[in-house]
Amino acid sequence: MLEKGTKAPEFELFDKDGNAVKLSDFFGKKVVLYFYPKDDTPGCTRQACAFAENFEEFKKLDAAVIGISKDSVSSHVKFAEKFGLPFILLADPEHKVIEAFGAWQEKKNYGKVYFGTVRSTFVIDENGVIEKVVPNAKPDTNAAEILEYLKK
């Protein structure tokens, strides 16, 4: 997983509206980039809704919130509409960006070993440098933790 002080890798992915979004589009503002396993699952929904509930606070702090999963654009559309998610969701079905940030890792569930997305959050500064990393982020506290960090 990428560490604090590392230049964030440039990427381009499609959002739920089919628009190409690049990390460099946000140069000059902070970016809260969070990786999550799957749309419309209990933990991922709680995490996304917490970011949505605090979205205005993130905006006041001039921080963009971007969620990335390997789900499709159409899955993101349904997820965002169902829960009223106001922030950017990016589709990374080939998990290239997830891998570039080190969030694609071996996981174990009920004795089964597989690769998947590790829930993790990166705060990227105005110059594209990672300033905070939250590996194994907790869905219920992640948004509040990041908001608290940004307010300092």
Distance CA 112, CA 82 (A): 31
State the residue for tokens 């829930």. Answer: 119
Distance CA 147, CA 29 (A): 15
Side chain identity at 32, as an amino acid letter?
V
Side chain identity at 113, as an amino acid letter?
V
49 catalytically annotated? no
Around Cβ 70, how many Cβ atoms within 10 Å? 21
The residue from 44, 63, 65, 98 that is catalytic is 44
Q: Which residues are catalytic?
A: 44
